[in-house]
Each structure stands twice: as structure tokens, then as C-alpha cells.
Amino acid sequence: MNIVDLISFRGGIAFLERKGYRTYPTTYKELKQRMLKTETYLIKNKVKKGDRVLIQATNCVDYVVLMLACLRLGVVVVPLDFHTSKQLRKKIIKETEPKLVFTNLDSLEKLTKDLKQNKSVPAISKDDVAEIIYTSGTTGVPKGVVLTHGNICSNVESLKKGFRLKLRHISVLPLSHMMEQCSGLFLPLSNNSLILYPNSLRYSDIIDLIKYKKINVMTAVPGILEGLKKAVELREKPLHKLLGWQFMVVGVGGASLPKELEDWWRKRVLLLQGYGLTETSPLITTNLPFKKRKYSTGKPLKNVKIRIKDDEIQVKGPNVMREYYKKPEKTKEVFEDGWFKTGDLGEIKKGFLYLRGRTKDIIVTRAGLNVYPQDVEDELNRYVKESCVIEKNNNIHAVLSMEKGDPKKIIEEVNKRLEQYQKIASWNVWGGEFPKTPTGKIKRYEVKKKVKHTLFKHKSPLDTLLASSLKTHIKKNVPLTSLGMDSLKRMEILALIEEKYGVELNEKVLGEKTTPKELENWIKKRKNVSYYDFGLPKLNLIGKTLASLITHIFCRIDGNKTAFQGIIVANHTSALDVHVLTSCIKTKYAVAAIPHLFGMVIKNTYYKIISFLIKHFFNAYPFGYGVGFESSLRFTAHLLDEGFSIIIFPEGERTRDGKIQSFKEGIGLLAVNMDAEILPVKTEGLFRVLPYYRRFPRFGKVRVKIGKPFRLGKISYFKAAKLIEKKVKSL
């Protein structure tokens, strides 16, 4: 029994992978070929069954190819979260002794491209180890959960009985997360579904991709659902208007789901909540489309048994892990008479499981990551008398008992030592001794009852916004990551900035070293944007016929015919430019036009009429300031993905004297980011037929000069604009 056997490798597209602004397909056939070549690469590097291979990378097709190659050969995969520190990775490498370590997969395809496909496959049984997944939370060497092929297959096969549809999925959780592997990778692949890997988890990107790529399903943790909900509400439009009616199913798990958040999503999509742990591969229970209950995590999967003992949920079944890697004592602690002790409290009503809390001190973040308070306290207690770490608003809150020192400086110093998801977001000082048990243990539940957050007041509105998100005092020159910003918080902050300031920032702006002061400067540089409801152009037949008729009546066009798909760049001479160009260039097209023509800047009846005409007569859409370059680029990339050519006139307006004006830098921005061929074109004679100052055309000869298509390398936007201008003018 091999996990890879669940995949038939038949059908069309397996993956859409976003690189830059474009998305690129990988078929099931290509996936299999690449997997078999990667197996040959592993064999050449003397990696054999039972050896370990460590992968620390962001989600991409290369990640999947490498993982499947390992699993098919019986090689044990050790996937690490992309944000795992180098120090922790070294500890895990020391414990697992992997034969190969991959922290960058950019060169994998190149390394395997010319290799032959592997034909030999070792026999894999259900008891063979598939993965060692390290649970989050500890500053020492965390526990490595040993999962077999049988463990993971049992989960996928159970889910498949409730989900047999061929759908389109978007991946928003890391592949180091078992929930994503099971529900977002192995299940879709077993159904010959399509999986989209976005290269950005900014909510505005996610919204556009779900709509443009017609996504049906998303698996997420509550933190992502909360952030996406806020982003949707910012647009002041119904969910289905923003994401499309095809978006139907949301699977959620990994952390506790607030009732009000569940209610909001249940009104809009089919929300299916599940429950499980990494140790259970991961699902124990789940709601199914026709077997679901509100606020419940669902019924047990097939062959999975659960019992409630002393209010604790205990599990037995083929999905339960074999052991913790090289930790027999830790393994022994979590089993009782063959039952795995989850540490969660729950009750069963009519076969459905309802969660009621935790027996352990463990804190589960919004991202579904585990934080063990003792680990954070160990770091704090180097500087203070005693500490008690608790959860507050899904964040890590430290309560300090101290005799000397500055608590702010202590928190900053400790945060430098902690993993990103462990960082202390807020704190307060405790007066006197902590309440304790007879054995000397701090009574956390009593501390949590009495604790109050330190109130952080700031003069700057941005600092106040950041403090409300990160639940900590903001210092202008301290990196936001040191203040508790993780990948989920980054998404939340970008959404809050968009709401408050009306600007859209690139996700890269919030980097590892970005400070509040630098962020403030970025916001000042950006212009306000308006949301525009982009949609695939549908050329009005009457408008097209009328415009083409006028063009051919008045213009005697001289030019070679050609077929092309990419970016068409031309001088802007007349209102007839588009139809003159398309009479010589065979292509499905859309025209990128300046936003003020759509009434994005000046809103009056005149521009409403102009907007209607250019949309239906010229297949135009707004590009640039007013709708935001980010939104414009995303939509332009989608048009190119769909086989459209983009016609653009980089001068920004029609010539007043017949001469070609300087090209705007925006053409450089567009061309550099689109990874598409560029076709330079120059028209001559149109200025006489219908110049800027005439309302009606006159008869005349028009010549269309078409250059050779070319691609841009890695150059600046300014240089790209100048190069394109030179090529058009030289025709």
C-alpha cells in the first residue's frame, strides 16, 4: 500500500502554479513523468527505501514532485514549515540524519530534466514509514510524529467516500501541515482534481484567484477564514459576487472555530468542519455534505473509534501514528490501553463530536500551530522571578512576576530567541506570588481569570492599528516580525491597511526586517485605489461590427497578416487604432486603457457613456492608478492565461500632432511582470483619417508595420519602457 497508488495520473491539468503574476499548468501526465525522473535523481544520489529526505520550502509543484518521488520509493519525507528557523532545522537534521536536505527547489526541474524515468519500484507495505512530521511548539527538539503509508491512506480513502467530485482547489496552507496534505493534496489528486498554488497569501490575491481561476474548494484554518471574511467585508459586496458562484465548499480545522465565524461562512458556502491532530494523520472526525451538524466537528471516519474518558477524547484506528521518532517515553505517555489520548475535551451527541476545550496547557494559534507555554516560560525565567504564559485572543500573552528589569526590553530579548509562531504578543506584570497548587504548580486558569492586557496607546494611527493586530506595544524601528507578526498576521495587517488607508500594498513590503516606520513611508507613497469589478471581456457583436465597418469604409489598410498572442504595443494615433490593428493581427484581444476613461477619477455622465463605448466597442478594461497597479496586473495576467492578447498604447493619450510621444513607464511595469512576448506595431496614415480634433473620419490610406516579437529579460521598468519605445519608433 503506497500513498502514490491513490493517484491515477489520468485526466487533464493537475496543477496551476502562480509565478509572478502568471499561472502555469502541469498535467497529470507531466506530473508522473517528472516524478519518475526525480526518482532516478534520488537513486543516483544513493537514497534508498527507509532513508530520510528533509524538505523546507513553500508550496509548489516541485515540492509535490519531490514528495511523491520519495513516497513511491519508500523514502521517508521530513517536511518542515517554511518559517522554521535555521537553529531548529539543525536540531531536526541532527535527529533524523536525512540523506538529502532541500531548502530551495528552484533547480530541481533542471537537475532532473534530462534523466530517464525510473522503472523499478520497491514494494511498500502499509506499515512502512511515509513521513516524520515535527509538531510545532517547542524550543528544544520537538516531537517527530511517525506516520506510515497505511495511516495516511486510511484518512484519504475515508474522505474520498464523501468527496468523489472532480473540483478545483486552492492551496492556502503549507504542505508541511498534514491537514493540507490530506485534504488539499492527496484527496484532490485521487479525484483527478485541479490544485492551484498561489505565490501570495494576501487576501486580495486570494479573492481574485478564486474568481478568475473558478476555484470550487478551499481548506483553511480559522485564522485564514477570519482574515478572508474581513477582506470580503471591505469590498462591500456579497461573497458570491467577489468569488463567483462556483466557490462552494470550505473545509476548516486545525484550531477552534469561533461560533460567530462559523455562522458567517455557513450562510454563504458549504462549511465542513473537521477535527484531528498530526498524530492522527490528521483527521479523526469530519462533517460531510449530507451528514453535518452546526458547531460540531462531525462523525468519526470509517474504522476510527473514539471514546470519552474523563471528558478527554481518545482515539483508536488505522489513522493513529506509530510513535514519536526516537522518543519511546513520550510515545508511552500518550497511549492508554492502545487508545491515543488527544488532550482535548469533548462530548458526543447523536454520533457527532463537539469540542469543549483542552486538558493540556498547549496553546493552539489561529494558524493551527501548537505552542507549549513551558517552552516560552523557560526563556522568560532567565530574566524574571517567575512567569506564566497563557492564550489571549488567539495570541501568546506573558504574565511576569519580577523584582527588577524593564519588562518591555525583556519581552523583546526573549522574542529574539523564540520561533515566529511562539513570539509573545502582549504582557503584564503580576503583583505578588502566583496562585499555586500544593505541589507548587502555577494555577493557569486562575491567572487567566484575573489577568488584564496592558493598554498600548500610540499617537500614530498606523501604530494603533498595528498594536490592535499584534497585541503589543509598537516601536517605530523594531521589525514587525520581532513584534509577533507571522504569515497570518501579515495578511491581516495588509487587509487592515487596505481598509483604513484605501491603499493596496504588495505582500513583499511586509518583509522580515520591515519596521513600522518603513511601512508608514510605503503607505505615504501609494495612491488610493477604487475596487473595479473586472470580468472577462465580451465584445459586443453590434459594437464590433459597427466599428469594423467604419474602419474598413474609410481606411485602405496596407499591412501583412499575422497571428499572435501576447502584448501588442502600438503608437496611439486615432480612435480607430484598435480595429486597424486587429484587421492585420489575428488574435483574441483586450485593450488596457487609462482608468479615468471608466469614470474612476471623474465621475459624470460623459465618462459613463465613454466607459460603456470603450468596453463594448474596444474590449477595454482599466489599467493603472485609480484601480491600483496590483489589481490591474493580476487581471492582465489572467487575460493572458486565458489566451487573450493585450493591446496597449503606452503614450497614454492620442497624439495631437501626429508624432509619437514618449512612452509612459507603466508599459515597462506591465511588460516586465507578464512573462509574455511583445509585438511592436506602428501605424501610419491614421492621423490624417481621424485625428484627435475631428469627430468624423475621412478617407485615407493606412499602413500597419509589424515588428518581430521579443521577450524582455530582467531589466528595470524604465529601461523596458525605453526599449519598447525604441522598437516601435524604429519600424
Residue 527 identity? K
Per-residue pLDDT, averaged over 422-439, amounts to 79
Residue with cell 519602457: 721
Q: Is the model's pLDDT at 137 over the cut of 70?
A: no
Give 251-286 pLDDT, tens digit per residue: 999 877 888 899 999 999 999 999 999 999 999 999
pLDDT-above-70 percentage for the chain: 92
When pLDDT is cut at 50, 70 and 90, the band that residue 619 belongs to is: confident
Using DSSP bridges, classify how beta strands 100-102 and 52-56 pair: parallel, antiparallel or unpaired: parallel
3-358 is classed CATH 3.40.1710.10: no
Q: Is the model's pLDDT at 677 over the cut of 90?
A: yes
- Check residue 664 and give its pLDDT: 87
Residue 249's region, left for phi above 0, alpha for psi from -120 to 50, else beta, is beta
Same fold, 3-358 and 541-729: no
Give 301-326 pLDDT, tens digit per residue: 999 999 999 889 999 999 999 999 99
Show me where the domains of the chain are located: 3-358, 363-525, 541-729
Taking the CA atoms of 165, 24, 562 and 678 in sequence, report the sign of the dihedral they define. Answer: positive
Neighbours of 9 (CB within 10 A): 17
When pLDDT is cut at 50, 70 and 90, the band that residue 638 belongs to is: very high
Per-residue pLDDT, averaged over 615-622, amounts to 81
Alpha carbon distance 82, 105 (integer Å): 12
Give 199-221 pLDDT, tens digit per residue: 888 888 899 999 999 999 999 98
Per-residue pLDDT, averaged over 334-342, amounts to 96
Q: Where does residue 43 rank: exposed (0-12), middle (13-18), buried (19+ CB within 10 A)?
A: middle
541-729 is classed CATH 3.40.50.12160: no
Using DSSP bridges, classify how beta strands 249-252 and 217-220 pair: parallel, antiparallel or unpaired: parallel
Which range, of 165-174, 247-256, 470-479, 540-549, averages the lowest pLDDT? 540-549
Phi, psi for 51 (deg, rounded to 5): -70, 160
Closest by CA to 523, choosing from 532, 514, 512, is: 514
Alpha carbon distance 549, 541 (integer Å): 12
Residue 73 near residue 121, CB atoms below 8 Å: yes
Closest by CA to 676, choosing from 636, 640, 729, 714, is: 640
Q: Is the model's pLDDT at 382 over the cut of 80?
A: yes
Residue with cell 496547557: 361
557-571 burial: b if 16+ Cβ within 10 Å, else e: bebeeeebbbbbbbb
Alpha carbon distance 416, 398 (integer Å): 15
Alpha carbon distance 86, 92 (integer Å): 10
When mean pLDDT is compared over 138-142, 328-332, 448-452, the highest value belongs to: 328-332
Which range, of 149-158, 209-218, 441-450, averages the lowest pLDDT? 441-450
Polymer length of the chain: 731
Average pLDDT, rounded, for the chain: 88
- Check residue 696 and give its pLDDT: 87
- Check residue 461 and give its pLDDT: 83
- Check residue 526 and give its pLDDT: 67
Alpha carbon distance 45, 67 (integer Å): 16
Q: Is the model's pLDDT at 69 over the cut of 60?
A: yes
- Check residue 378 and give its pLDDT: 82
Q: Is the model's pLDDT at 528 over the cut of 90?
A: no
- ∠ CA(126), CA(132), CA(134), 5° rounding? 145
Alpha carbon distance 274, 163 (integer Å): 14
When pLDDT is cut at 50, 70 and 90, the band that residue 467 belongs to is: confident
Neighbours of 492 (CB within 10 A): 22
Which range, of 31-35, 399-403, 497-501, 677-681, averages the lowest pLDDT? 497-501
**Architecture of 363-525 per CATH?**
2-Layer Sandwich (3.30)
Residue 66 near residue 103, CB atoms below 8 Å: no
Alpha carbon distance 386, 492 (integer Å): 33
- Check residue 527 and give its pLDDT: 56
Q: Is the model's pLDDT at 126 over the cut of 70?
A: yes
Sheet strand arrangement including 194-197 = 22-27, 13-19, 194-197, 168-171, 217-220, 249-252, 270-276, 283-286, 299-300
Using DSSP bridges, classify how beta strands 144-148 and 323-324 pair: parallel, antiparallel or unpaired: antiparallel
Q: Is the model's pLDDT at 437 over the cut of 70?
A: no
Per-residue pLDDT, averaged over 165-185, amounts to 95
Alpha carbon distance 455, 241 (integer Å): 39
Alpha carbon distance 278, 663 (integer Å): 55
Give 480-511 pLDDT, tens digit per residue: 887 777 766 776 787 677 667 767 676 667 77
Give 244-257 pLDDT, tens digit per residue: 999 999 999 987 78
Q: Where does residue 266 rank: exposed (0-12), middle (13-18), buried (19+ CB within 10 A)?
A: middle
- Check residue 7 and give its pLDDT: 95
Neighbours of 50 (CB within 10 A): 12
Residue 675 near residue 690, CB atoms below 8 Å: no
- Check residue 43 and give its pLDDT: 96
Residue with cell 497571428: 563
Residue 371 near residue 349, CB atoms below 8 Å: no
- Check residue 201 and give its pLDDT: 82
Q: How far is CA 315 from CA 132, 150, 302, 334, 344, in A?
A: 20, 16, 12, 11, 11
- CA 426, chain centre distance (Å): 27
Grid cell digits, residue 59: 508550496
- Check residue 136 and give its pLDDT: 63
Q: What is this structure's pTM?
A: 0.82
Grid cell digits, residue 618: 474596444
Residue 218 near residue 250, CB atoms below 8 Å: yes
* DSSP symbols for 503-524: ----GGGS-TT--HHHHHHHHH
Alpha carbon distance 655, 422 (integer Å): 59
